Structures are given as structure tokens and as C-alpha cells.
């Protein structure tokens, strides 16, 4: 694959990750906590999603 194609994919992924970060922030503001979703590499599964008590 050529470099332009790779750069395009990386730009798309970067955009998607920024959108995911924004969604996570909104959920946290609404009182939901999502462990491991901040890209910190903790790798927790969806079991970490839930309402904060």
C-alpha cells in the first residue's frame, strides 16, 4: 500500500478516536463511568461500563 493510503486511514482512525473520547466525556458528565475506555490500555471489557453510584 502506498503512504497516502496509510496516512488516510490513520487520519480516519484519529478522527474516530477523538469522537469516542468525546462520547466518553459526555457519558462521564452524565454520571456514567467507563473503565478502560480512555485509551489507557487497561483493556477492560464492557463489564466496566455502568452507572456510578
pLDDT digits (tens, 9 = 90+) for 26-51: 988 888 776 654 555 454 555 555 55
Give the pTM.
0.49
Inform me whether the pLDDT recorded for 15 exceeds 90. yes
47-50 contacts at long range (C-beta below 8 A, 24 or more positions apart): none
Work out the burial of residue 49: count CB atoms within 10 Å of its CB; fewer than 13 is exposed, 13-18 middle, 19 or more buried.
middle
pLDDT of residue 14: 94
Cα dihedral sign, 3-4-7-12: negative
Amino acid at each position: 500500500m502506498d503512504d497516502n493510503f496509510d496516512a488516510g486511514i490513520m487520519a480516519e482512525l484519529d478522527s474516530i478516536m477523538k469522537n469516542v473520547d468525546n462520547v466518553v466525556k459526555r457519558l462521564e458528565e452524565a454520571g456514567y463511568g467507563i473503565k478502560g475506555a480512555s485509551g489507557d490500555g487497561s483493556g477492560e471489557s464492557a463489564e466496566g461500563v455502568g452507572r456510578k453510584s
